[in-house]
Amino acid sequence: MQTSTDRTVYRRRFLKLLAGSPLLALSGPAWLEDRLEAAETPSEVPRSPLITAPAEAMNVFDFEAAAREKLPAAHFGYLTTGVDDDATLRANREGFSKFQIRPRRLVDVATVDTSVELFGATWKSPIVLAPAASQKAFHLDGEIAAARAAGAKGHLMILSTGATASVEDVRAAHGGPIWFQLYPTDTWRIAQALVKRAEAAGCPVLVLTVDLPAGRNTETERRFARTDTRQCSSCHALGLPGYVRRKPMFDGLDVTGVGLFSPRLTWDAVRRLKDTTRMKLVLKGIETREDAELCLRHGVDGIIVSNHGGRAEESGRSTIECLPEVVDAVRSRIPVLVDSGFRRGTDVFKALALGAKAICIGRPYLWGLAAFGQPGVERVLELLNREFELMMKHAGVTSLSKLDRSFVVDGRRT
Ligand SMILES: Cc1cc2nc3c(=O)[nH]c(=O)nc-3n(C[C@H](O)[C@H](O)[C@H](O)COP(=O)(O)O)c2cc1C
């Protein structure tokens, strides 16, 4: 790769060469140097000031800076962290550049339909709010604000077990059916109670997260926390009892001796959950064809390809690169969703072309929430939808059913 120092050296050499040319006798090196500078130096993009209102944002990244400005360091650390060296977090973004888009021309794209059907419900957009715990750490209205935004814009939302608002209140704020994400804990009695409550609240789908069997190493989070001078324990006690005290889903449950994660979670739990609930069962955190095949064998109704936004294991592999093998194993028998690193409409386009039915976002809507509450989340959704719709038009795709692998090149193979 050529660096800017390399370019400067070559430019000087080239100018020296020209300085000896009779041509320069006519014009002069100052003129030439100016022209070369202009041609070779990419024009500096003006740095945008911090946005002060959702409407000022040009893309979802604008909300990250605004969120960082507003949040206490420890809370921003929790939001932003990956694990170990944050390599998987970066890989999730870099993965998208390995796939390129093949646009088709001369198609009437005056209207495009981005709606998607998932388990009998139709949503305006294939962009879903991923489950994220503790949203009141980002904004006082937490999950309620996110749900109102999702409901207003016609998006599905998945509520976390670790939510700081109850499933009943979030469902009411959303106005439509929401899915419930389950951390089953290490105690079946608790898992059962959580499942029954979500079912009674009208959730049609249970999302079992399977990628955190034994905690994780969130170094970045801890480094941010060290710079925070406030005393965490003055707002919330630590450990599971302190954690669940702020999590309404655990209200009334005795969590003495219970662990939030279970290293003993196996495929047996999947069978047990299937026998416990009428809700559809989706597994979140699948990354391989082998596990996709096991999902089918165990009667799982859907898959979310996910590495928890680079917050589970440091696999170093992006989910967009995991997606094709899972889609191939599933062969359209159940819906496959994907998350981790989605920030642009083109990312959404690539995933859907590779066979995902929908995609989920985590941090982008949480940045919007932290920065501006409900209007921030709404603007994040608006921006992503607009970019995605624009990409569909550029590529000549008028509905999601017409989007297939012919629209992407797997750059890893060429
Ligand atoms: C602050 C935060 C909290 C999260 N909490 C949960 C959770 O409670 N349950 C879960 O299954 N995933 C959780 N996730 C992971 C998301 O559901 C999703 O997989 C991830 O955020 C997608 O990556 P992205 O943030 O790059 O979009 C969380 C993610 C973040 C950023």
Mean pLDDT, residues 253-260 taken together: 92
Pick the closest to residue 70 from 132, 136, 139 (CA basis).
139
Q: Quick one: what percent of the chain has pLDDT higher than 90?
A: 81
For ligand 1, what atom is nearest to the CA of residue 163?
Answer: 8
| Torsion sign (Cα): 172, 173, 178, 180 | negative
Task: Return the active site residues.
Answer: 308
| Predicted pLDDT at 47 | 78
181 lines ligand 1 (CB under 6 A): yes
Q: How confident is the model at residue 233 (pLDDT cuts 50, 70, 90)?
A: confident
- Ligand 1, pocket-test mutation among 92, 158, 308, most atoms within 8 A of CB: 308
- Phi–psi pair at 218, nearest 5 degrees: -90, 75
Tokens of 15: 């100018």
SS3 content of the chain, % helix, strand, coil (to 5): 50, 10, 40
The Cβ of residue 364 has, within 10 Å, a number of other Cβ atoms equal to 26
Is the pLDDT score of 179 beyond 90?
A: yes
164 lines ligand 1 (CB under 6 A): no
- Ligand 1, pocket-test mutation among 71, 136, 160, most atoms within 8 A of CB: 160
| Entry pTM | 0.91
Is the pLDDT score of 289 beyond 60?
A: yes
Pick the closest to residue 230 from 407, 354, 71 (CA basis).
71
The Cβ of residue 168 has, within 10 Å, a number of other Cβ atoms equal to 14
Q: How confident is the model at residue 42 (pLDDT cuts 50, 70, 90)?
A: low
DSSP per position, 340-388: SS--SHHHHHHHHHTT-SEEEESHHHHHHHHHHSHHHHHHHHHHHHHHH
Please provide the average confidence, as pLDDT, over all residues in the chain.
91
Q: How confident is the model at residue 37 (pLDDT cuts 50, 70, 90)?
A: low
| Predicted pLDDT at 128 | 99
User: 355 CA distance to ligand 1 centroid (A)?
Assistant: 22
| Predicted pLDDT at 43 | 74
User: 307 CA distance to ligand 1 centroid (A)?
Assistant: 9
Count Cα atoms within 13 angstroms, Cβ side, for 189. 8
307 lines ligand 1 (CB under 6 A): no
**Given the structure tokens 């929401």, which residue do they identify?**
178
Distance CA 279, CA 301 (A): 10
| Predicted pLDDT at 414 | 64
Q: Give me the residues paired with residue 122 across strands.
A: 117
